[in-house]
Structure 1
Amino acid sequence: MRRRFRRTCSPGNAVIAAVTVCALCSGLWLLRDGAGTHAPPQPSAAQAHAGADGRGGGRAATPALPPSPPDRVRIPAIGVDAPLTGLGLTKTGSLDVPPADRKNLAGWYEAGTTPGETGTAIIAGHVDNADGPAVFYSLGALRKGSTVEVDRRDGGVAVFTVDAVEVYAAKDFPDAKVYGAAPRPELRVITCGGGWSRTTGYQGNVVVYAHLTDSR
């Protein structure tokens, strides 16, 4: 099963929409292993936003950084330390995904905001592949206040603080909340999640919301 992002536009800000059609998981591992015995962790209600606008509180934002492509993402709380590859659009206008056989590779939407500059940057990766857990298998276990570090090609590191971790069923995915333009540097980290079906695979997506709080 190969599903992909689609791309849409809002005034002055090109964004990706409808992650509900992404190809960030195979589910073949769970199918082979039996009834989702080792299904990835899912975020609890306590990790969701208190409000509905997708803007978190917590630590104050730090000034935006100039544009620079990212090369690596680290999420210490869940043991992620992965290289990043640029993700472009397919001929149908959808966003491609990292190769499924490279389970520790994540991707970023290189036609959009770079992590650390003003706006909403997007990082996405597989939750699993046919052989087992992939780079963002544990994303649903992340908690508010955790950090996401992004190594940038200019030699700097953008440090984001997690505001919320939410899971959405495909039919309820809030495109504007996840992908909409932001007045400060923000980051979304996305993988598959939600319920799992033997016939259709994962039923939705896990989304981490974070904002820039430091740089070095």
Structure 2
Amino acid sequence: MPRKLGLWTMWAVLLAVGLVTLGLGLRGPAGPPRPPAWAATPRPVDHGGPVLTRSAPVQVAVPSIGVRAPLARLGVGRDGSVQVPAADRPDEAGWYDGEATPGERGPAVILGHVDSSEGAAVFYDLGRLRPGHRVEVNRADGRVAVFTVESVERVAKDRFPTRRVYGPLDHPGLRLITCGGSFDRAGGGYRDNIIVYAAQTAVR
């Protein structure tokens, strides 16, 4: 759904800050797994599959990194920032309801913390994903939208690719977002974001 770039930019920046707040740097100075540079080069997949009607997602599964997590609905807070998953539920991810639902035409955006006071959180291993890996999203209508990863990138928070993440698509897409890179103890958060770009390739 189209938005003014200024609003996209504001939300993206505040989103990055929110996801970093719970990044505690628990895994040493190297930080969480980082995708190799080559993984950022898109490996396009067939976008000609079915397009579904709107139905809220309830679960996300990423078999290659052992993730199967419930999805909370995330909106926009009073300050205009995108909400993030609850701090006390590190194994839960969240779907931003201001964009498409998985399976609809457009970018569906799912957010998850990288770590918490208890250790690794739901998207700690997101940087291990590679083009060709599969992501499955169960929807409230009983359908499962199956996505294939096209690219994985690590970007500095101050260079967040707002338009690429939130911009309109002519097919059902998916973005998975968490924090990554090295931990800035002075600033109290990770310096980067890990972003996975995927396209729907099947429906069950």
User: What's the TM-score once normalised by structure 2's chain length?
Assistant: 0.90
1:1-216 counterparts in 2 under 5 A?
A: 9-10=3-4, 16-18=11-13, 19-28=15-24, 30=26, 35-36=28-29, 39-50=31-42, 56-200=43-187, 201-216=189-204
Task: Report SS of the residue matched to 2:163.
Answer: helix
State how far apart, in whole Å, the 2-side matches of 1:61 and 1:206 are: 27
State how far apart, in whole Å, the 2-side matches of 1:131 and 1:94 are: 26
Alignment CA distance shift 1:66-1:86 (3 Å): same
Question: How many aligned residue pairs are there?
Answer: 199
Deviation at 1:26, TM superposition (A): 2.1
Matched residue type, 1:44: P
State how far apart, in whole Å, the 1-side matches of 2:116 and 2:173 are: 28
Matched residue type, 1:110: D
Matched residue type, 1:68: S
Deviations 1:92-145 (A, max 9, x none): 111111111211100001132101100111000100001100000000000100
State how far apart, in whole Å, the 2-side matches of 1:23 and 1:45 are: 22
State how far apart, in whole Å, the 1-side matches of 2:23 and 2:47 are: 38
Instruction: Note if contact 2:19-2:178 (Cα within 8 Å) is conserved in structure 1.
Output: no
Provide the residue aligned with 1:5 in structure 2.
none
Structure 1 segments unaligned to the other structure (5+ residues): 1-7, 51-55
State how far apart, in whole Å, the 2-side matches of 1:66 and 1:186 are: 14
State how far apart, in whole Å, the 2-side matches of 1:158 and 1:168 are: 27
Instruction: Note if contact 2:29-2:182 (Cα within 8 Å) is conserved in structure 1.
Output: no
Identity %: 47
Deviations 1:133-171 (A, max 9, x none): 000000000010001100000000000000000010012
Structure 2 segments unaligned to the other structure (5+ residues): none
Instruction: Note if contact 2:32-2:181 (Cα within 8 Å) is conserved in structure 1.
Output: no
Provide the residue aligned with 1:4 in structure 2.
none
State how far apart, in whole Å, the 2-side matches of 1:21 and 1:29 are: 15
Alignment RMSD (CA, Å): 2.2
State how far apart, in whole Å, the 1-side matches of 2:149 and 2:48 are: 12
Matched residue type, 2:129: L
Alignment CA distance shift 1:28-1:60 (3 Å): closer
Which structure is richer in relative contact order (CA contacts within 8 A, separation 6 or more)? 2
State how far apart, in whole Å, the 2-side matches of 1:150 and 1:9 are: 25
Instruction: Note if contact 1:59-1:161 (Cα within 8 Å) is conserved in structure 2.
Output: no
State how far apart, in whole Å, the 1-side matches of 2:25 and 2:192 are: 17
